[in-house]
Amino acid sequence: MIDREIVTRAFDQYTALYNANDPKIKLKIDHTYRVAALCAKIARSTSIRNVDMAWLSGMLHDIGRFEQVKRYNTFVDADSVDHAQLGADMLFHDGLLEQFKVGLSKTEKHILELCIRSHSAYRLSVGLNETETSYCNVLRDADKIDIFRVNCDTPPEEIYNVSSEELKTSAVSEEVKDCFRNHTAVMRKLKKTAIDYIVGHVCLAFELVYPVSREIAREQGYVDRLLSFESDNPDTKNWFEYMKNNIWSPVEQETDSCQ
């Protein structure tokens, strides 16, 4: 059984161990609650039976972020540690999951660990069964949807550890442009300039699996706000205008073709 009140209390107690005055810590606490709520909302639109399990995956998916910030003061995995693997190790190898007092079966623990380890991966592992894939995709969709919000509500300099000048003047890499044209996410190794990170986050819209996820993302308007970024670089200005005109129509076409 999953008691949401107990889980929430345990999460609050755990995050209280970290510096509450650090905006990165607050950002991840708020992000966690929103992702958990989104997981439950998206799960209700799928064949998933245990909505509480989906909610729990949202509550625990970024547990490694707090240690990441404490140790390295960054959210950039490439400059520190893979936060998904760190969080899963803490929960399932170091015993942190016990603090949340959830009575999970062996299969449920396996699915939960798989969700957490996979939530930020470029692609899910091949060979997952339908149930594993569904839970993973619910969490991945919820996380992406709230990442759009985070990137609007938080100064990008703080998220990407870059200067305002870098963001305003940098050009979008051709490889990153190709990802947008091909309607795919941007692999980390392809991001070479500061503005590539914003474009990379916009491209997450192409990866949303469930129709309800796309509806939520579009209704919230955060992707459109990201595309309103004002660059001082003429090529980047033109590219953002191109993205504005093409971001939603490919998703709608894909949705229509699946009906």
Q: What is the pLDDT of residues 72-90, one digit of tens each?
A: 998 889 889 999 999 999 9
List own/partner pairs for 117-126 with CB under 8 A and 24 or more apart. 117/84, 117/85, 117/88, 118/84, 119/57, 119/61, 119/84, 119/143, 120/77, 120/82, 120/83, 120/84, 121/84, 122/185, 122/187, 122/188
* Residue 161: predicted pLDDT: 75
Task: Judge contact between 208 and 144, C-beta under 8 A.
Answer: yes
Q: What is the pLDDT of residues 179-199, one digit of tens each?
A: 999 999 999 899 999 999 999
Q: What is the pLDDT of residues 81-123, one digit of tens each?
A: 999 999 999 999 999 999 999 999 999 999 999 999 999 999 9
C-alpha 221/C-alpha 152 separation (Å) is: 10
For residue 252, pLDDT beyond 80: no
pTM: 0.91
Q: What is the pLDDT of residues 128-169, one digit of tens each?
A: 999 999 999 999 999 999 999 999 998 877 777 788 899 999
- Residue 255 confidence class, pLDDT cut points 50, 70, 90: very low
Domain 1-155 is classified in which CATH homologous superfamily? Hypothetical protein af1432 (1.10.3210.10)
Q: What is the pLDDT of residues 158-168, one digit of tens each?
A: 777 788 899 99
Provide the percentage of residues in the chain whose pLDDT is more than 90. 86
For residue 45, pLDDT beyond 50: yes
Q: What is the pLDDT of residues 186-235, one digit of tens each?
A: 998 999 999 999 999 999 999 999 999 999 999 999 999 999 999 999 99
* Residue 1: predicted pLDDT: 78
- Residue 250 confidence class, pLDDT cut points 50, 70, 90: low
**49 CB burial (10 A radius; 0-12, 13-18, 19+):** exposed
State the span(s) of the chain assigned CATH 1.10.3210.10.
1-155
